[in-house]
Structure 1
Amino acid sequence: MIQTTMQHGDLLISGLVEYSRRVFPEAKVVTWTGEGARELSFAEVGDQGAQLANALTKLGVEAGDRVATFMWNNNEHQALYAGVPSMGAVLHTLNLRLSPEQAVFIINHADDKVIFVDASVAPMLSAYLAGTPNVQHVVVTNGPAEAVTAPDHITVHTYDDLIAGEPTTYDWPALDENTAAVMCYTSGTTGDPKGVVYSHRSIYLHSLLGTSTTGLGLSNRDSVLAIVPMFHVMSWGLPYAAMMAGATMVMPDRFLQPEPLLAMMAELRPTLAAAVPTIWQGVSALLDAKPQDITHLREVVVGGAAVPPSMIKKFDGYGVPIVHAWGMTETSPLGTIARPPAGVDDEEKAFAYRVTQGRFPAPVAARIIGDNGEQMPWDGVAHGELEVAGPWITGAYFQPEANVTDPSKFDDGWLRTGDVATITPDGYMTIVDRAKDMIKTGGEWISSVELENVIASNPAIVEATVIGVPDAKWDERPFVLAVVRSEDDADVEAHRKFLEERIPRWQVPERWSFVTEVPKTSVGKFDKKRVRQHYADGDYTVIGDPQG
């Protein structure tokens, strides 16, 4: 058999760091302060990454040790993204919005040795530290060491003091590209959060998708507003893709409300932005009240949950296209991106593609599995559980003793996503629903996602989620939890009439409740687990005739 003549080079984050600091020194990381921005060039990111590696080595951090971050999106976090994996340690991004019980569980399960924490959230971390006996050091960024209250076994430092005087170069080790680089945990909506460990190779390959025209299409002409948190699946891979492309990163820090986000856009004029739908709902509401030109954005990438078609049309009205993306913590996360195929010039036909979750990139294999384990056809009609496989798809969850697979999540090497989906003959995937969120009423299925999209198209609705609830006659019926624009809009009969003109009558919900905010998960999705619990506990005032 003929052998390749190609050289082998391990795909390492250290190579990405050195490339970005040398080739794109003009690119920046820009962090919003509330009054303006502070900047760090990619060359300086590389310098600080090396300083961090030198300092962490002195603290006793060795290859494979976990270094955690409890931080917002900012300059210091980007430097940690650069330095920690490059030295051979594992960067573990901690979700700021988990419950105390889940946060302590994750810190201990990952066996974090050092934690970097922003001073603004240091009191929150302080409450966890008594339950984390293996943490040895805490480093405070953007504030004094006194911001943290720690047990005697933990030494507290400040970021500036830690790296002061350290060399801006480091002899990066020649790692195997399959070495662990970054660790993230799922949000734990069912059971304990699960750890996913990304390799240098998987991150490097995923970053290439970020620069591909079939992916995010990042280039050195872009400035990316990364609203999606760096603790949520590596900010969808943006920090590393930006290093590869030479794109400037705009970091919002803790200023995630619509008003400061729009202020950032006005001053810094990013060309691309990424966040979950609930963020853009808030931005849209403020834009309606205080119009502002946002056409400097060539695209808004939205993932984490299905985007209502009405929101896509709303942003079209602002002159900014929304691009749908789908993924999970387990998929690094980019699994599909929705761009219409070439040659589709008709606006209505193009829109039909845009409201799907999109096409799979070449490295991501996909299949849909029916109730009896059979593979379903790609005909755009047949649906089943979506399963995926590929070089940036996890094949197991992290365990301290062994990397083991969970048969409820993995099927012969394929990741079982838990999403019910259809795929068209030309490869466009649409999420019908989460398997656990499908509503079976009188033997027929209702997609909660499709119902939510129709409800959200009503101008009187700000946001709404749908769950299935027990029903004596039909086994299950949909229940709507909604936020309306005014008290006058809390009219169930008006909402039902709106729906009757758009969906089959048997799908129209009888039970409604109106609240000031729909519960959300730590990453901004509707928290249907909490909604179900509140409903079962009788916490909602339910309006409407259960017998329809």
Structure 2
Amino acid sequence: MTPMMNTQLTITSIMKHAEQINGSVEVVSVTADNPRHRYTYRDAFARVRQLANALDALGLEQGDTIATFAWNDYRHLEIYYAVSCSGMICHTVNPRLFPEQIEYIVNHGRDKWVFLDLTMVPLLESLQDVMPDVKGFVVMTDEAHMPETSLANAHCYETLLAAQTSEFEWPELDENTPSALCYTSGTTGNPKGVMYTHRSTLLHCYAIIAPDVIGLSVKDVALPIVPMFHVNGWGLVYAAPMTGTKLVMPGPKMGCGETLCTLINEEKVTASAGVPTVWLALLDYLNKSGKTIESLNRVTVGGAACPFYILDVFREKYGVDVQQGWGMTEMNPLGTYNGTVPPPVANLSPEEYDKKRLKQGRPVFGVELKIVDADNKSLPWDGKSAGAVKVRGPWIINEYYRYDGQTLDDDGWFETGDVACMDEHGYMQITDRVKDVIKSGGEWISSIELENCAVNHPKVAEAAVVGMPHPKWSERPLLLVILQEGETLSREEMLSWFDDKVSKWWIPEECLFVDSLPHTATGKLSKKDIRADYADFRWPE
């Protein structure tokens, strides 16, 4: 006999609690077929039970994987809960990936059905022939907006729900049951799958609602701009129902500054989260329109380093506290957070205070973090010593999904691929990336893949790609090219070479033709030296 109850930590418990305790709290959405949909958590979870019955009617079983190609809205929220609480796996797919990556991810994930937003229909029509295991598609709309489509076995979401009752008996699930699947962007080889469990999701929720982290409560109105296909929307669509926080979801308008401003002001949003590019879009709109955002008191920036401009303008002009988080797909994603300021930091000079606020933050409880040297020895937290970042904890990956390689080191730590230093107050500062990937607008770009593409040009002898600081996208790829002897090539011809070979947003922002490139002693390109050589580079106006 154990002294305490062994109640399972499941997403189902969030749903039941929200419906019973926070049932009257609103969920507001922008969708492709409705500019402002509005209902309550009680309404939402009644429809979740209808969807669970629909999944059963489609012949789906516990353990099956269901893909979503969707934005942040109420139907995607319903899918999250109906799938996971039925013992199935919700596989959120990033539609911005290159088609070959999407094909690999859907097939590797063994997806049985695909739920897709109206705006995603053309994409899935073009890919359905390379998804042989997918049995059918559900378009997330009503009959009035259901498009003519070539998708095989296509169904209308609202029609499926209308045929079902809202009575459903949820299965009793072990907390270690897989609940969701998300893939890395495949910057080195094929994307890798990270399978979250009910337990890891719930523990992650407890972490992000803490006062020193995002700190959601029943008094808040949250606007999750970070896509729900990006590491489960950083957990906000679980944390909000848990705490009784009103949810405001921007749908396909997440990058529109005017829409974000309108939602913030009309729905009285107090907290939001997104990558730097969406904040730049909002600030640009506010500056041009002269409008304000009186209700908003804090925003979380993640996915890429926060530019000082965002921190400064939000704080000085609009009175909004900018907080920064760091993590990754393999971490569910939260690892560190720069939110509430401890007293020693609050007493620093304004200059030193701002430097601290631009760091990636302090490890949250539940995440053990260390930095190590090349010999795997822990380095001091002195603000100077930089090393590889390793983590472990209850919501951190143990092994990649259907992967034969080694995921953890011999001591059970996960190496993040980042290089960082830790200061005496526990703040982490990312100083480099082990594999030289580029982070643009919160998404990864592979420098190696771009280099391989460039050298395939018959006139190119060698090429290097490095990420350079960019005022809007945090980083953009800069291409450096050595031409074959006697050949000539224009900048425009070189950059157009990438068309249809990589995702459009991956294409380098600028191309420079050079006579030589620095190399290491082993003959590899020295990215460190390249970045140093071009430290004064500025993007063309």
The answer to whether TM tops 0.5 is yes
Structure 1 distance, partners of 2:419, 2:535, is: 29
Paired amino acid for 2:186: G
Please give the residue correspondences for 1:72-151 in structure 2 after superposition, counting only pairs within 5 Å.
72-144=71-143, 145-151=146-152
- SS at the partner of 1:237? helix
Shift, 1:546, TM fit: 8.3
- SS at the partner of 1:107? helix
387, 390, 394: which one pairs with 2:393?
A: 390
Which is worse superposed, 7-16 or 344-353? 344-353
Q: Which residue of 2 aligns with 1:204?
A: 202
Paired amino acid for 2:386: H
Shift, 1:312, TM fit: 0.8
Q: Would you say the 8 A contact 2:187–2:437 is kept in 1?
A: no
Q: Would you say the 8 A contact 1:275–1:301 is kept in 2?
A: yes
Structure 1 distance, partners of 2:164, 2:476, is: 54
Paired amino acid for 1:368: I
Q: Would you say the 8 A contact 2:50–2:167 is kept in 1?
A: yes
Q: Which residue of 1 aligns with 2:27?
A: 29
Structure 1 distance, partners of 2:409, 2:262, is: 44
Q: Would you say the 8 A contact 1:396–1:404 is kept in 2?
A: no
Structure 2 distance, partners of 1:467, 1:70, is: 27
341, 352, 371: which one pairs with 2:355?
A: 352
Structure 1 distance, partners of 2:410, 2:261, is: 44
Paired amino acid for 2:86: M
160, 163, 177: which one pairs with 2:161?
A: 163
Q: Which residue of 2 aligns with 1:254?
A: 252
Structure 2 distance, partners of 1:537, 1:248, is: 54
2:376 paired with 1:373: yes
Paired amino acid for 1:138: F
Shift, 1:429, TM fit: 0.9
Q: Which residue of 1 aligns with 2:5?
A: 7
Shift, 1:187, TM fit: 1.8
2:475 paired with 1:465: yes
2:287 paired with 1:288: yes
Shift, 1:346, TM fit: 4.7
Structure 1 distance, partners of 2:477, 2:87, is: 45
Q: Would you say the 8 A contact 1:116–1:139 is kept in 2?
A: yes
Q: Would you say the 8 A contact 2:476–2:509 is kept in 1?
A: no
Shift in CA distance, 73/536, structure 1 to aligned 2, threshold 3 Å: farther
User: Number of matched residues?
Assistant: 469
Q: Which residue of 1 aligns with 2:271?
A: 272
Structure 2 distance, partners of 1:536, 1:195, is: 38
Paired amino acid for 2:355: A
Structure 1 unaligned residues grouped into runs of 5+? 440-447, 473-480, 482-513, 515-520, 539-544
Structure 1 distance, partners of 2:398, 2:289, is: 47
Structure 2 distance, partners of 1:212, 1:547, is: 39
Shift, 1:388, TM fit: 0.6
Shift in CA distance, 384/9, structure 1 to aligned 2, threshold 3 Å: same
Shift in CA distance, 342/167, structure 1 to aligned 2, threshold 3 Å: farther
Kindly provide the CA deviation profile for residues 161-215 of structure 1, in whole angstroms up to 9, marking residues without a partner as x.
Answer: 1111422132111111001001111122332111100000000001111221122
Which is worse superposed, 287-296 or 190-199? 287-296
2:47 paired with 1:44: no
Shift, 1:386, TM fit: 0.5
Structure 2 distance, partners of 1:33, 1:198, is: 27
Kindly provide the CA deviation profile for residues 312-341 of structure 1, in whole angstroms up to 9, marking residues without a partner as x.
Answer: 112112211110100111111111110321
Identity of aligned residues (%): 36
Shift, 1:395, TM fit: 1.5
Q: Would you say the 8 A contact 1:118–1:140 is kept in 2?
A: yes
Structure 1-normalised TM-score? Answer: 0.79
Shift, 1:273, TM fit: 0.9
Structure 2 distance, partners of 1:434, 1:364, is: 20
Q: Which residue of 2 aligns with 1:442?
A: none
Please give the residue correspondences for 1:305-454 in structure 2 after superposition, counting only pairs within 5 Å.
305-317=304-316, 318-339=318-339, 340-342=341-343, 344-346=346-348, 348=350, 349-399=352-402, 404-406=404-406, 410=409, 412-437=411-436, 452=469
Q: Which residue of 2 aligns with 1:18?
A: 16
Structure 1 distance, partners of 2:534, 2:259, is: 43
Shift in CA distance, 14/176, structure 1 to aligned 2, threshold 3 Å: same
Paired amino acid for 1:465: E
Shift, 1:535, TM fit: 5.9
- SS at the partner of 1:206? helix
Which is worse superposed, 188-197 or 414-423? 188-197
Shift, 1:436, TM fit: 3.1
Q: Would you say the 8 A contact 1:119–1:147 is kept in 2?
A: no
Structure 2 distance, partners of 1:537, 1:38, is: 54
Structure 2 distance, partners of 1:176, 1:547, is: 52
Kindly provide the CA deviation profile for residues 7-47 of structure 1, in whole angstroms up to 9, marking residues without a partner as x.
Answer: 10000111111110111012122102588521121111111
Q: Would you say the 8 A contact 2:306–2:474 is kept in 1?
A: no
Kindly provide the CA deviation profile for residues 224-246 of structure 1, in whole angstroms up to 9, marking residues without a partner as x.
Answer: 11111000000000000111111
Shift, 1:143, TM fit: 4.7
Paired amino acid for 1:303: G
Structure 1 distance, partners of 2:189, 2:265, is: 42
Q: Which residue of 2 aligns with 1:502?
A: none
Q: Which residue of 1 aligns with 2:170?
A: 172
Structure 2 distance, partners of 1:284, 1:532, is: 23
Shift in CA distance, 316/112, structure 1 to aligned 2, threshold 3 Å: same
- SS at the partner of 1:426? coil
Structure 1 distance, partners of 2:13, 2:218, is: 18
Shift, 1:414, TM fit: 1.3
Structure 2 distance, partners of 1:215, 1:204, is: 15
Structure 1 distance, partners of 2:119, 2:480, is: 43
Q: Would you say the 8 A contact 2:479–2:510 is kept in 1?
A: no
Paired amino acid for 2:290: P
Paired amino acid for 2:329: T
Shift in CA distance, 471/74, structure 1 to aligned 2, threshold 3 Å: closer
Paired amino acid for 1:222: D
Which is worse superposed, 5-14 or 186-195? 186-195
Q: Would you say the 8 A contact 1:438–1:468 is kept in 2?
A: no
Shift, 1:132, TM fit: 0.7
Shift, 1:411, TM fit: 5.1
Q: Would you say the 8 A contact 2:481–2:514 is kept in 1?
A: no
Shift in CA distance, 141/382, structure 1 to aligned 2, threshold 3 Å: same
Q: Would you say the 8 A contact 1:118–1:143 is kept in 2?
A: no
Q: Would you say the 8 A contact 2:93–2:182 is kept in 1?
A: yes
Shift, 1:354, TM fit: 1.3
Shift, 1:470, TM fit: 6.7
Structure 2-normalised TM-score? Answer: 0.80
531, 535, 538: which one pairs with 2:508?
A: 531
Structure 1 distance, partners of 2:207, 2:406, is: 28
Q: Would you say the 8 A contact 1:66–1:110 is kept in 2?
A: yes
- SS at the partner of 1:220? coil
Q: Would you say the 8 A contact 1:437–1:467 is kept in 2?
A: no
Shift, 1:438, TM fit: 9.5
